[in-house]
Structure 1
Amino acid sequence: MNSAGTASATRPGLRELKKRRTRDALLRTAVEMFTTRGYDHTTVDDIAAAVDVSPRTFFRYFSGKEDAALALEAMTVAHFLDAVRARPAHEPPMEAMRRAVMEGWDTLSAVVESVAPIEQYLRMYQVIESTPVLLAAHLRHFAETEEQMALLIAEREGLDVDADPRPRVAVAVFSGVMRVTERQWSTGADFSLDAMRALTATYLDQVGPALVGNWRAPQGA
């Protein structure tokens, strides 16, 4: 009876592991195809066939190609939100978000590479930027993430996000900088993770001077 009970208890875990492996294989294959063939030249049937499953199985894990194309991005967003939640309560909101994103680079590779090579993740940015339907979805998700961040910051600071505009304003500024950084990096010559990290730091360093500094003052004055 104990053996049967033990076997029964382990079965759901094994099932979940198999499902995760199937999902990861589909996602990894989708990203590889999107970055080599192009998004428009890849079909759900192509992805499913490469993993040796049916299209019906693909749709158990993803609502469609767009969902698969943005899945790695969703993982990194969740990683960032968790990092902000973990920041010390005494840090001001902008500092907490900055430290979360900058220190998050150290663990981002491990998060992404649990599914796909980091190089493919980086190349997906170019695919997203050059594919109108994906870019539109990406920007829509960006707006949704901003709202999640505003709610999180308001909770950290003990504020009512609908009564106090500061959480949404702070997140809008931070998100705007991240979007500009993402766009500049994806069209630059150095398409590496280190380059993205360095450009992010450079652009975030400009937030204070851009908002309160005198732009007409000579450099170094």
Structure 2
Amino acid sequence: MTVEQHTGAGPALRPGLREKKKQRTRDALLRVALELFTTKGYEETTVDEIADAVEVSQRTFFRYFAGKEAAVFAVQETVESHFSAALRARPAEENPFTAMRRAVAVSWETLEETLQPVVPLELYMRTYQVIESTPALLAVHLRRSAELEEETARLIAEREGLDADSDPRPRVAVAAFTGVMRVAGGLWGRGEDTGVDALRRLTEEHLDHLGPALAGDWRV
């Protein structure tokens, strides 16, 4: 029996069960897509291969994803939402930099728990490397990062009771913070250790240098 047959919604299928079966199909397509992207290569993988591996039609794949790009960034959307939620939950007395840094730390600590129902953490980390090493995906990632940066700046402005459109400080602070995150992510993507702990250490090390790099005299 194929996944399509197994998950087909018959007249007697209750709405709750139907949604669960749809979710299982989507999760299976996503896991297979990411496995193929990380082992065979993003450009080399076709939608037909993904659908065939899950034993569904190409039409079923497009029912859940607009294309390969949507599949590769599906988990990234979850990670971004996870960070935004962690930032919203930070205490009001924390300054913007501290709130962002601790939100990132909390996100990392709970990332595996958040992703496990859909994909293993290790598979997500390998996918992130594919994004960093594939020019077409990297371009999309940079655009998405700019959108997240704008959302984060507005969150920071709201926390501080500022108008992000008239006060430049939220965008400046977020740009500096995310710039460091971007540099660390790029270095991690080119390294040999692909674990989340390696990414965490590298990012924290670079964040430690943010203040001194901006305010210090490098020639002293």
TM-score, normalised on structure 1?
0.91
Equivalent residue number for residue 159 of structure 2? 156
Residue in 2 aligned with 1:202? 205
Is this contact kept in 2: 1:181–1:203, CA < 8 A? yes
Distance 1:192 1:145 in 2: 23
Equivalent residues in 2 for 1:1-221 (5 A)? 11-217=14-220
C-alpha distance in structure 2 between counterparts of 1:88 and 1:140, whole Å: 29
Distance of 2:62 and 2:131 partners within structure 1: 21
- d(CA) in 2 for partners of 1:22, 1:34: 18
- Aligned residue type for 1:105: W
Moved >6 Å (runs of 4+): none
Equivalent pairs: percent with the same residue? 62
Q: Report how far residue 139 of structure 1 moved.
A: 0.6
Counterparts of 1:181 and 1:130 in 2: how far apart (Å)? Answer: 14
Match of 1:5 in 2: none
CA displacement at 1:113 relative to structure 2: 2.0
Please give the per-residue CA displacement for 1:143-173, whole angstroms capped at 9, x wherever unaligned.
Answer: 1111111111111111111011111111111
Structure-2 separation of matches of 1:124 and 1:85: 27
CA contact (8 A) 1:102 1:201 kept: no
Which runs of 5 or more residues in structure 2 are unaligned? Answer: 1-12
Deviation, structure 1 residue 15: 2.1
Contact 2:133 2:189 in 1 (8 A): no
- Deviation digits for residues 83-126 of structure 1 (CA, Å, limit 9, x no counterpart): 00010111111110000001221100111222112221111122
CA RMSD of aligned residues (A): 1.3
Aligned-partner Cα distance in 1 for 2:150–2:99 = 16
Report deviation, 1:56: 1.1
Moved more, 15-24 or 36-45: 15-24
* One-letter amino acid matched to 1:76: V
Q: Distance in 2 between matches of 1:14 and 1:213?
A: 60
Query: Are the counterparts in 1 of residues 149 and 178 from structure 2 also a CA contact under 8 Å?
Result: yes
Residue type matched to 1:170 in 2? A
CA distance in 1, matches of 2:103, 2:142: 21
Distance in 1 (alpha carbons) for counterparts of 2:91 and 2:162: 17
SS of 1:90 mapped into structure 2: coil
* CA distance in 1: counterparts of 2:56 and 2:162, whole angstroms: 49
CA distance in 2, matches of 1:106, 1:149: 20
